[in-house]
Amino acid sequence: MSRQGGGHVTCYDNNLVCKRGRRVRYSEEAAMRLVKRHTNVPVPDIIFSDYEPQKGNIGMSFVPGSTLKSMWDGLDDRNKERVCRETWSMITQWRQIPRPPKLAHLYQCLADGSPATEDPLIKDLEDPPRSLYTDEAVRVRIHQRYLHYAGQRYAETLLDMLPQSSASIFTHGDVAPRNIMVDQSGHVTGIIDWELAGWYPDYWEYANIMKPSMDDNWQSWMDYTAIQRWDLKGIIAARRVLF
């Protein structure tokens, strides 16, 4: 079905989907189990899993339908608006997922409490990666990466430009048409690819939906139907260097 750096997804008889590779970690399984337990959002069922230090393997149920990416251009404006509102309704549900008590001391983390190591905004420059305990620590991490990768224009002002948040919210982290499954009528049948999911500042889902993409028409509709909009000027400035 797909092959990306660190991950290989194979479908068997429209029944079993296997995802394997170095980017396949328990945090993705933990995220899907949390969503299944606390929401009505359709996600794959976990059939089996196996994790080693350098790679993982998850067997999941097949989510019926086609990707929204493959269907989007064939939808009229009414259905484009509707599917975006359906998506935001699901996002609203998982934003209410309670943080497990054992993760209460962390501000940003993946669903199992591990640090985010794939997001270019907050991937730690040190190894092993350090945990993030406050919103200020998230902003400092972004600023450190900006300076490390030769960001100059906003070197003195980026910290003040970045959005501030008093809430850390459960976040998918990669809501995009390729990860939204829909039926032939354009109704959402499932959300897939939860490897980045965890707790992030409350603006993070919106910021990642709006990141540079070829899906700009979908982004416009998601912005139009958004449950809330945040000032992303600092994130946009950082991304010019970090993406």
Per-position b or e across 88-105, b if 16+ CB within 10 A of its CB: bebbeebbebebeeebee
29 occurs within a structural domain: no
pLDDT given for residue 70 in this prediction? 97
11 occurs within a structural domain: no
**What tens digit of pLDDT does each residue of 68-106 get?**
999 999 999 999 999 999 999 999 999 999 999 999 999
pLDDT given for residue 219 in this prediction? 98
Chain-centroid distance, C-alpha 28: 11
19 occurs within a structural domain: no
How many domains in the chain?
Answer: 1
15 occurs within a structural domain: no
| CATH code of 164's domain | 3.90.1200.10
- Binned at pLDDT 50, 70 and 90, residue 12 comes out as confident
> What value does the mean pLDDT take over residues 192-203?
97
pLDDT given for residue 14 in this prediction? 76
Q: Which domain covers residue 149, as residue numbers?
A: 64-242
pLDDT given for residue 7 in this prediction? 73
- Binned at pLDDT 50, 70 and 90, residue 13 comes out as confident
pLDDT given for residue 112 in this prediction? 98
- The label of the residue with tokens 């989510």 reads 63
105 occurs within a structural domain: yes
176 occurs within a structural domain: yes
206 occurs within a structural domain: yes
pLDDT given for residue 243 in this prediction? 87
Number of H helices, E strands in the chain: 8, 11
Report d(CA 116, CA 131) in Å as an integer.
9
50 burial (CB, 10 Å; 0-12 / 13-18 / 19+) is: exposed
Report d(CA 199, CA 131) in Å as an integer.
12
pLDDT score of 6 more than 90: no
> What value does the mean pLDDT take over residues 156-182?
97
pLDDT given for residue 53 in this prediction? 86
- Binned at pLDDT 50, 70 and 90, residue 2 comes out as low
230 occurs within a structural domain: yes
225 burial (CB, 10 Å; 0-12 / 13-18 / 19+) is: middle
Alpha-carbon distance values, 202 to 183, 185, 189, 199 (Å) = 30, 31, 25, 9
> What value does the mean pLDDT take over residues 39-64?
95
pTM attached to this predicted model:
0.94
